[in-house]
Homo-oligomer: A and B are copies of this chain.
Amino acid sequence: MKPENKLSRVLIVGGTHGNEFTGVYLIKKFEQFPQLINRSSFETLTLLANPQAFIAVRRYINKDLNRCFMHQNLEDLTLSSYEDLRAREINYLFGKNGKTPVDLIVDLHSTTANMGITIIVDNDEPFNLQLAAYLNYINPAIKVCGLGNSGRSYDSLRSIARFGICIEVGSVPQGVLNANFVLKTEAIIYTILDYLELYNQGKVPSFSNNLICYEYIEKIDYPRNEHGEIQAMIHPHLQFKDYEVFHPGDPMFLTFDGQTISYEGNSTVYPIFINEAAYYEKGTAMCFTEKHQITI
């Protein structure tokens, strides 16, 4: 490996959304016990990304921090919301031209959807895919999801580093610590750090180069009336069924007056982020993905 390909600095981020406690409390733990995340071949930094939102137990104060990192937004000094300021500061600290630029960002999230343990990658960057595949090889229960077409590849916090992945766990309510998911997230972080150590030493073991990846296609909104009010709920048959096969004709929504709305598409999909609390305001009842076996 060329020396310039080695990773020299890694950033673990929690609390990009202030009410997703899993990451926040792991960051607090790592800041108290830094030896847990120290490895010999690279430096590990931590960041509580949105501390004011954490104090307020809200996703954000003014706007979603994890949508604030588009290049033109970071350059636009007229943007002055709390999250715009915080995004510029984070970019100044850890971005490519920042004070201590990082090679990899691991961003810790939780969801109210029943997504178990998901590794999200935002693009086809081989390093990200290989890391995700390694985590899936170590723990086959881990799902890998590609959000390349969702916008996250250019506006998310993790987009400011060369490499970036997100650990998404759920179902966890906002403002709640679920110990099992905290422990699982923590274990994955250590696996990632150990992998990076092997990577820097050129000692990553060989493992299957086939990976099941759920690729984002589109988001599906709730049925709404002319005032934007939702008129239906996730159908009970679909609730908690993230990553399960969803066929045309399957029940999708249940209106408040008891009518079932079925999926009218033509293709089989695999919904994720079903009934994520933070997505009601974003017009997203779920995201459709396609299940692909990819070779990395």
Query: Which A residues contact B (CB, under 8 angstroms)?
Result: 25, 28-29, 33, 57-58, 112, 171-180, 182-183, 229-230, 233-236, 239, 254, 256-257, 275, 277-278, 280-281
A149 to chain B, nearest CB (A): 25
| Chain B residues, CB < 8 A from A176 | 112, 173, 275, 277, 280
**Once the chains bind, are A256 and B178 in contact (CB under 8 Å)?**
no
- 20 cross-chain CB contacts under 8 A: A25-B256, A28-B229, A29-B256, A33-B257, A57-B280, A57-B281, A58-B58, A112-B173, A173-B277, A174-B174, A174-B277, A175-B277, A175-B278, A176-B280, A177-B230, A177-B234, A179-B235, A179-B236, A180-B239, A183-B236
A54 to chain B, nearest CB (A): 11
| Chain B residues, CB < 8 A from A236 | 179-180, 183
| Chain B residues, CB < 8 A from A177 | 230, 233-234, 275
A37 to chain B, nearest CB (A): 14
User: What residue of chain B has the Cβ atom nearest to residue A177's Cβ?
Assistant: B233
